[in-house]
Amino acid sequence: MHLFAFFFFPIFFPFFGFGFLFYFLPTILAFARNKRDTTAILVLNILLGWTVIGWVIALVWALKQDVPVAVR
């Protein structure tokens, strides 16, 4: 069993880790860019990120420029 774990973990975990980062890339970008809708992008990413369309929408939303809010 130890021989299997010795060879399995170094191969499995980098792919799992990179997949996790890639899946949450729209949320990470939104957080890094201080988007107003970071929470909404996170929810969209969690609920619909498993579909390609939901992930692309979240990515576009995260990369889109925020429209300035007029303060009165």
Residue 29 lies in a domain: yes
On the question of pLDDT at 7 being above 70, the answer is: no
- Whole-angstrom CA distances from 29 to 4, 17, 54, 62 are 36, 17, 16, 6
Its pTM stands at: 0.76
Identify whether the C-beta of residue 61 lies closer than 8 Å to the C-beta of residue 44.
Answer: yes
Whether residue 54 is contained in a domain is answered as yes
Is 2 part of any domain? Answer: no
Query: Which pLDDT does position 56 carry in this prediction?
Result: 97
3-state helix, strand, coil in the chain (%, to 5): 75, 0, 25
Domain range holding 54? 24-72
pLDDT above 80 for 71 = yes
What does the pLDDT read at residue 41? 97
Q: Is residue 61 part of a domain?
A: yes
Residue 52 within a domain = yes
Compute the average pLDDT of residues 60-70: 91
